[in-house]
């Protein structure tokens, strides 16, 4: 497998600065189809976790004939261990807005919304005035596109795209049945492009530097760079933009505290990689994908506690509509507690693993489907810690 060495990248936050007006002027001189071709060519995949090719998403939405279409920036960032979207919106908001405007131009949408989690309410005033400023700029350039802000109110599941639409429509954030997909029926049941904050910034930057520069970075399946949120047992907690395709061992060498026993990649719903597998795993779509969350645990940590925390999180944050996830999360949580207390035999963990496997295939949305990731990887690699 192709893998990359540790390399800091400076695209998203770009210390030298970026005049988004210039980028937009360049975009507006080209055709939407050309823009989309470039996006496809760049190999950019969504940075929100699911990793869908961004150019294709735009292409599908463009080909829908509806009059009303929408661009939505997903700034719900609720995955434990992720905090990069907030930083991006604080530091380079104009690049996010520009990405939305480019997407709007590409698919012929007139309205864009930023759905941002309620926890970031302190950003409201600043963000709103920056949006106003940006909308004014678009008007001056004669681009018929406007951005508005919508707030979440403390519900992790609203980061899931269809739950997010429901929430924006004033409803409970319960994920919808798919199909139809957002490119066909999203917000207000109209064709919608929904992209993560970071994805949109890369869209801007690809239009600034061209697809080739982006493509130079990363691996065949994981092009470009990505912003990582590093936390846990590390002397260097924080936000880093790194080339994709990094081997976990390289990552640990750079960020670990010398005593790293496991890294949880991709947040609570991600995969737990134990020390013995650091050399085998690549951070990227061909290995362990991540929306950016990297949590590092050293040998003083109990992996039972880690798993317990995750399961508690899921039991609370599941929307509760579908059986495997609503009840399954509670069962996994109560189950490991019972094994720990000796009320159920260690072999019960295998029943629970089988349950988690059913949750992975039978749940309605990505939340319930992802609980098996941390569950199985922690049970498989740290069974003793969970039992005793």
Partner 1 sequence: MTDVKELIQAKVKCIGAKREALMPILQAIVEEKNYLNEEDMIQVAEALDLSTADVYGTATFYTFLDTVPRGKYVIRVCKTISCHMAGKDEIVDTLKDLLKVDLGETTPDKNFTLMQANCMGWCHKGPVMLVNDDIYTELTKDKVIKIIHDYMGS
Partner 2 sequence: MGKFEVNLKINNIPVTVEEGTTILDAAKKLNFRIPTLCHHSDLCVAGNCRVCVVEQKGAKALPAACATPVSEGMDISTNSAQVRTARRHVIELLLSEHRSECTSCYKNGKCELQDLANEYRVNETTFMKLVENKGYTIDDFSPSIIKDDSKCIRCQRCVRTCTEMQSVSALAVVNKGEHQKIATFMNKPMHSVVCTNCGQCVTHCPTGALIEKNYIDQVWDVINNPELHVVVQTAPAVRIGLGESLDLSPGNRVTGKMVSALRRLGFDSVLDTDFTADLTILEEGTELLTRLKKALVDKDTETALPMTTSCSPGWVKFIEHKYPELLPNVSTCKSPQQMFGALAKTFYAQKKGLKAEKVVSISIMPCTAKKYEANRPEMRDSGFQDVDYVLTTRELAMMIRQAGIEFASLPNEKYDSIMGDSSGAAVIFGATGGVMEAALRTAYEIVTGREVPFENLDILPVRGLEGVKEAKVLIENVKPEWGFLEGAELSCAIAHGLANAKILMDKVKSGEMSYHFIEIMACPGGCLGGGGQPIPVNNEIREARMKAIYEEDSSLKIRKSHENPEVIALYEQFLGEPLGHKSHELLHTHYTGRKKY
Binding letters toward ligand FMN, positions 130-169, x by CB under 6 A: ---------------------------x-xxx--------
Beta-strand relationship, 260-265 and 293-298: antiparallel
Stretch that binds ligand SF4, among 44-52, 78-86, 319-327, 373-381 (CB under 6 A): 319-327
Cα 74 to Cα 164: distance, rounded to the nearest angstrom = 8
Binding partner selected for residue 207 from ligand FMN, partner 1, ligand SF4, none, CB under the kind-specific 5 to 8 Å limit: none
Whether the CB-CB separation of 155 and 317 falls below 8 Å is answered with yes
Cα 166 to Cα 173: distance, rounded to the nearest angstrom = 5
Applying CB under 8 A, does 102 fall inside the site for partner 1?
no
Handedness of CA 77, 102, 141, 191 (dihedral sign): negative
Of 46, 78, 159, 266, which lies in the binding site for partner 1, with binding defined by CB under 8 A? 78
Applying CB under 8 A, does 146 fall inside the site for partner 1?
no
Stretch that binds partner 2, among 84-92, 99-107, 232-240, 358-366 (CB under 8 A): 358-366
SS3 content of the chain, % helix, strand, coil (to 5): 50, 15, 35
Of 1, 22, 50, 361, which lies in the binding site for partner 2, with binding defined by CB under 8 A? 361
Applying CB under 8 A, does 324 fall inside the site for partner 2?
yes
For residue 180, cis peptide bond before it (omega within 30 degrees of 0): yes
Q: How buried is residue 366: exposed, middle or buried, by Cβ count under 10 Å (0-12/13-18/19+)? A: middle
The 8-class DSSP code of residue 189 comes to G
Stretch that binds partner 1, among 31-39, 94-102, 139-147, 163-171 (CB under 8 A): 163-171
Cα 276 to Cα 115: distance, rounded to the nearest angstrom = 40
208: phi then psi, degrees, rounded to nearest 5: -85, -50
Of 367, 371, 372, 378, which lies in the binding site for ligand FMN, with binding defined by CB under 6 A? 367
Stretch that binds partner 1, among 11-19, 31-39, 115-123, 276-284 (CB under 8 A): 115-123
Which residue, 131, 159, 127, is CA-closest to 145?
131
**Contacting positions for partner 1 (CB under 8 A):** 77-83, 85-86, 117-122, 124, 150-156, 167-173, 229-233, 237-239, 268, 293, 295, 297, 301, 305-306, 309-310, 313, 316-317, 319
**Contacting positions for ligand SF4 (CB under 6 A):** 157, 175, 318-322, 325-326, 363-365, 367-368
């Amino acid at each position: 497998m192709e893998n990359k060495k540790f390399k800091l990248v400076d695209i998203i936050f770009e210390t030298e600065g970026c005049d988004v007006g210039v980028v937009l002027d360049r975009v507006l001189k080209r055709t939407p189809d050309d823009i989309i071709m470039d996006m496809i060519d760049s190999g950019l995949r969504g940075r929100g976790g699911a990793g869908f090719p961004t150019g294709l998403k735009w292409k599908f939405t463009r080909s829908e004939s509806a009059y009303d279409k929408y661009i939505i920036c997903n700034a719900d960032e609720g995955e434990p261990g992720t905090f990069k979207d907030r930083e991006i919106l604080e530091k380079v908001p104009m690049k996010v807005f520009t990405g939305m405007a480019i997407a709007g131009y590409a698919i012929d949408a007139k309205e864009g919304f930023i759905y941002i989690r309620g926890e970031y309410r302190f950003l409201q005033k600043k963000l709103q005035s920056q949006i106003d400023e940006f909308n004014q700029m678009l008007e001056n350039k004669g681009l018929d596109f406007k951005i508005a802000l919508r707030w979440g109110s403390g519900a992790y599941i609203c980061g899931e795209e269809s739950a997010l639409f429901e929430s924006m429509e004033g409803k409970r954030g319960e994920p919808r049945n798919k199909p139809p997909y957002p490119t066909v029926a999203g917000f207000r049941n109209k064709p919608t492009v929904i992209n993560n904050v970071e994805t949109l910034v890369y869209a801007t930057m690809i239009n600034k530097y061209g697809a080739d520069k982006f493509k130079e970075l990363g691996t065949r399946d994981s092009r470009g760079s990505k912003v990582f949120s590093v936390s846990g047992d590390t002397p260097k907690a924080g936000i880093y933009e790194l080339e994709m395709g990094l081997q976990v061992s390289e990552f640990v060498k750079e960020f670990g505290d010398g005593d790293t026993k496991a890294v949880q990649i991709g947040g609570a719903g991600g995969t737990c990689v134990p020390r013995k597998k650091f050399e085998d795993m690549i951070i990227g779509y061909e290995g362990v994908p991540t929306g950016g969350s990297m949590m590092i645990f050293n040998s003083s940590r109990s992996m039972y506690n880690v798993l317990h925390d995750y399961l508690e999180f899921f039991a609370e944050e599941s929307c509760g509509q579908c059986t495997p996830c609503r009840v399954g999360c509670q069962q996994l949580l109560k189950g490991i507690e019972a094994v720990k207390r000796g009320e159920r035999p260690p072999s019960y963990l295998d029943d629970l693993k089988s349950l988690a496997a059913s949750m992975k295939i039978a749940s309605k949305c990505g939340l319930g489907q992802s609980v098996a990731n941390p569950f199985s990887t922690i049970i498989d690699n740290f069974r003793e810690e969970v039992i005793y």
